[in-house]
Structure 1
Amino acid sequence: MTAPLWIGPAPAPPLLTELTASHWALWGECIAFPGLINSHDHLVFNCYPPTGAPPYDDFLGWSRDVQADRALVRRIEAIPAALRRQVGLLKNLLWGVTAVVDHGGAPGDGPIGVLAPYQDLHSPELASPWRWLGGLGPAVLHLAEGVTADSRRRALDFLRENLFRRRVAGVHGVSLAGEDFRRLASLIWCPASNLFLFGRTADVTAALRHTPVLFGTDATISAPGTLWDHLRQARGRIPDAALFDGLTGAAARFWRHAAPNDLVIARRRAVDRWDAFFALTPADILLVVRAGRPVLVDGDLGAPSGYGRLTVGGRIKHVDLAVAEMLAALRPQLDTAALLDRFGAVAE
């Protein structure tokens, strides 16, 4: 039996050596990698199923359709925002994420880190130019979230008003082209959301020539499938190493998130390191460690006291969240079985 194959910057962190020694007989053939950073989500929108009637020209048409479904919106928005936020944290944790950028949310702690070192400008369509003057850190906005020339024009016009040359993280960038990406300090790529809404995603090959490409899942309201499904949709559009870097090193550098004791150990499903990583499913995640502390533990490794319990792909997972209480609070408003199914899980 060998130690887990480390996929990440060399050398592997000392914590991996400690974990390997303490659970040697339980690992089997595994891979290990840094805790993943989801650079775009809306935590409170993960109680929604994929919504709307795509394809759309831009997000404005989709937003109108969502708002028109008043019964759905009333039912979901009746759930307290704090509870919906916990649902978003659970989703990310089950997928191996240890830090998430919650667009429009606030920083926070919990089983995973919630990053907010930025100013939310939302989008050119819904923000005023004067907002360039306020806030700290990079400006993050939904940019060119559509397939039309007008969507691109609105994005470029808004960027021209960035007179103070603030660093801009553009989310989506679907209709941007070529040199447009030079204006961004990073592109946050959410291919599953783009393909669901528009049938098209950003030209990440062009983007990567000019700026880092970070990876985001977006919320389930517009992004069906798990993070691992999203990665398989994305694979092949840019090199595997760059796609992985968008979830790890590049994201950590952009958000200034140093977390050497965040890591994930998962079952190895292929010989090649990249095939093994991109073949993963939530069921394959054996251990998620944040700040040196396990926050998700596969049932074969034990059952930490006080952790919530779910089944993921037929395997028991223990998570550092009050799952039973969360689901009980959600049931008056939601089909919790369908909710968990979207995350790749079922209730115990």
Structure 2
Amino acid sequence: MLLRNVHIANQSEASDIQLCGDKIVSVFEADNDAAEETAISFNNAVAIPGLINSHDHLDFNLFPQFGDIKYDNYQEWAVHIHSVYKKEIGEVLQIPQALRAKWGLYKNLLCGVTTVVDHGVEHSFEQPVIEVFQHCQSLHSVAFEKNWRMKLNNISNIQKPVVIHVGEGIDASAYDEIKTLLNSNYIKRKIIAVHGIAMTSTNATKFKALVWCPASNYFMFGQTADVGHIKRFTPVLFGSDSTLTSSWDIWQHINAARKDGSLTDKELFESLTTTPAEIWKMKDAGKIEKNRQADIVIADKKNNEGWDAVLSILPEAILLVMKKGEIQLFDERLLHQLCEQNIFFSDFKPISINGVIKYVRGNIHQLINNIRSYHSEAIIPVEIVQTKSPFHVHTH
């Protein structure tokens, strides 16, 4: 397959990307005469590696945001929401966990995430639409993980990195929690911290990486980690967290991070691509280049150039999402091309995002209907679309 005439992230000249199976076999200057049995052509489009979301709770993405004040730490937030929003929490928890987790996959796919690091219990998915990374040990936090010291120092897991919420707050307890965790790491496990608002340069060096979730942090605490300083001492990865504390749309989080200004645009982009690929040991992910895994997102550039074209994408502007060379999502503007190329798409279902129709692999219609059978008011940011034929689309 050939993806024609795309501007690879922050490059001014257009390129063609040639794929074979799950790999990129060649990237070369755009050539309208290049022969290829199957080709998809684009106009004024940007191509980026599939995003790597380094922190999400897949089964927590049907909750609305909970919290109406600024908190000192995550324990205070948890006590408050379980008191004030008990009814709303119960309504979402009526939905089976498997359905909630599956929606979490689609939430990420719709934003161009092709790999997500899920924090929590391991889920089993049949033909997941994106890659779910679970080759790590998830501990929730010092406060809420039972027997966390024993689990942290379990020698049988020493080869796996530990992922844990830590320093998630702005008071003294958040600072003390980081010290407690590090002092309890008797066997010197590699720890990847999540949030780390209270992290300092001194203790940053003792972590394998920090997963930065700025949108969640600003919502709960009104401030976030000092990643402008921390990035000099440990790698910074990017995470969305769940809809309990932030938007379903990771691009809104990216916009918040750009406004924060702690990372340059290049560093921010790398926190979603090359840096997590290295930290999580996804050796073939994170770049669009020869011999890399064909995880590719193509979006309408609109009138943007440079990093604005890369970091100002909206879900409705995404034209194509590929995971390991397989199309997982495409915009209806590509429908005629795909039909003419005889590309198989009968297992795709159409949905509307802000009035723009996308075709998504798998039965997302059934998933939404199943979710709503348990909770009719569940917040799902897409609408089901019905089709009479591949060339006639109307909103339901």
TM-score of the alignment, normalized to the shorter chain, above 0.5: yes
Which residue in 2 is equivalent to 1:185?
208
C-alpha displacement of 1:18: 8.8
Q: Quick one: structure 1 residues 184 and 8, their matched pair in 2 at CA, closer, same or farther if it must change by over 3 Å?
A: farther
C-alpha displacement of 1:328: 1.1
Distance in structure 2 (CA, Å) of the matches to 1:263 and 1:146: 36
Q: Quick one: structure 1 residues 318 and 110, their matched pair in 2 at CA, closer, same or farther if it must change by over 3 Å?
A: same
C-alpha displacement of 1:24: 5.0
Query: 2:161·2:190 contact (CA, 8 Å) conserved in 1?
Result: yes
Mind listing any 5+ residue stretches in structure 2 that lack a counterpart? 31-35, 286-292, 339-344, 386-396
Distance in structure 2 (CA, Å) of the matches to 1:30 and 1:321: 25
Distance in structure 1 (CA, Å) of the matches to 2:247 and 2:295: 26
Structure 1 stretch displaced more, 252-261 or 138-147: 252-261
Structure 1 stretch displaced more, 77-86 or 326-335: 326-335
C-alpha displacement of 1:13: 5.6
Query: 2:136·2:160 contact (CA, 8 Å) conserved in 1?
Result: yes
C-alpha displacement of 1:225: 5.2
C-alpha displacement of 1:298: 0.6
Q: Which of 323, 347, 350 matches 1:306?
A: 347
Query: 2:16·2:27 contact (CA, 8 Å) conserved in 1?
Result: no
Query: 1:309·1:317 contact (CA, 8 Å) conserved in 2?
Result: yes
Which residue in 2 is equivalent to 1:347?
384
Which residue in 1 is equivalent to 2:295?
262
Check if 1:87 corresponds to 2:125. Answer: no
Which residue in 2 is equivalent to 1:14?
18
Which residue in 2 is equivalent to 1:73?
89
Distance in structure 2 (CA, Å) of the matches to 1:264 and 1:24: 13
Check if 1:284 corresponds to 2:288. Answer: no
Query: 1:42·1:105 contact (CA, 8 Å) conserved in 2?
Result: no
Q: Tell me the number of residue pairs that the alignment of Structure 1 and Structure 2 aligns.
A: 341
1:28-57: CA deviations, max 9, x gaps? 100001111100000000010101223111
Distance in structure 2 (CA, Å) of the matches to 1:246 and 1:286: 23
Distance in structure 1 (CA, Å) of the matches to 2:362 and 2:27: 25
Query: 1:261·1:292 contact (CA, 8 Å) conserved in 2?
Result: yes
Q: Which amino acid aligns with 2:57?
A: H
Distance in structure 2 (CA, Å) of the matches to 1:267 and 1:62: 39
In terms of fraction of residues, the more strand-rich structure is: 2
Normalised to the residue count of structure 2, the TM-score between the two structures is: 0.81
Check if 1:36 corresponds to 2:51. Answer: yes
Structure 1 stretch displaced more, 327-336 or 118-127: 327-336
Q: Which amino acid aligns with 1:253?
A: E
C-alpha displacement of 1:73: 2.1
Which residue in 2 is equivalent to 1:130?
150
Q: Which amino acid aligns with 2:357?
A: I
Within-5 A mapping of 1:306-325: 306-325=347-366
Distance in structure 1 (CA, Å) of the matches to 2:162 and 2:40: 45
Q: Secondary structure at the match of 1:29?
A: strand
Query: 2:10·2:306 contact (CA, 8 Å) conserved in 1?
Result: no
Which residue in 1 is equivalent to 2:341?
none
Q: Which amino acid aligns with 2:379?
A: L
Distance in structure 2 (CA, Å) of the matches to 1:214 and 1:106: 21
Q: Quick one: structure 1 residues 309 and 161, their matched pair in 2 at CA, closer, same or farther if it must change by over 3 Å?
A: same
Check if 1:54 corresponds to 2:69. Answer: yes
Distance in structure 1 (CA, Å) of the matches to 2:43 and 2:320: 13
Q: Secondary structure at the match of 1:28?
A: strand
Query: 1:295·1:320 contact (CA, 8 Å) conserved in 2?
Result: yes
Q: Secondary structure at the match of 1:318?
A: strand
Which residue in 2 is equivalent to 1:252?
277
Q: Secondary structure at the match of 1:289?
A: strand
C-alpha displacement of 1:321: 2.6
1:251-307: CA deviations, max 9, x gaps? 111111234111101111344321111111001110000010000011111272121
Distance in structure 1 (CA, Å) of the matches to 2:60 and 2:248: 15
Q: Which amino acid aligns with 1:187?
A: L
Q: Which amino acid aligns with 1:248?
A: T
Distance in structure 2 (CA, Å) of the matches to 1:215 and 1:270: 26
Query: 2:6·2:16 contact (CA, 8 Å) conserved in 1?
Result: no
1:86-141: CA deviations, max 9, x gaps? 11011000000001011003265511011011111211222331222223410000
Q: Secondary structure at the match of 1:218?
A: coil
Structure 1 stretch displaced more, 267-276 or 85-94: 267-276
In terms of fraction of residues, the more helix-rich structure is: 1
Percent of pairs with identical residues: 34
Distance in structure 2 (CA, Å) of the matches to 1:99 and 1:159: 29
Q: Secondary structure at the match of 1:340?
A: coil
Query: 1:340·1:347 contact (CA, 8 Å) conserved in 2?
Result: no
Q: Secondary structure at the match of 2:81?
A: helix
Distance in structure 1 (CA, Å) of the matches to 2:27 and 2:333: 18
Q: Which of 159, 168, 172 matches 1:145?
A: 168
Q: Which of 85, 94, 97 matches 2:113?
A: 97
Q: Which amino acid aligns with 1:116?
A: Q
Q: Quick one: structure 1 residues 310 and 159, their matched pair in 2 at CA, closer, same or farther if it must change by over 3 Å?
A: same
Check if 1:117 corresponds to 2:135. Answer: yes
Which residue in 2 is equivalent to 1:155?
178
Distance in structure 2 (CA, Å) of the matches to 1:95 and 1:292: 18
Q: Which amino acid aligns with 1:249?
A: T
Q: Secondary structure at the match of 1:140?
A: strand
Q: Which amino acid aligns with 2:142?
A: P
Distance in structure 2 (CA, Å) of the matches to 1:197 and 1:301: 40
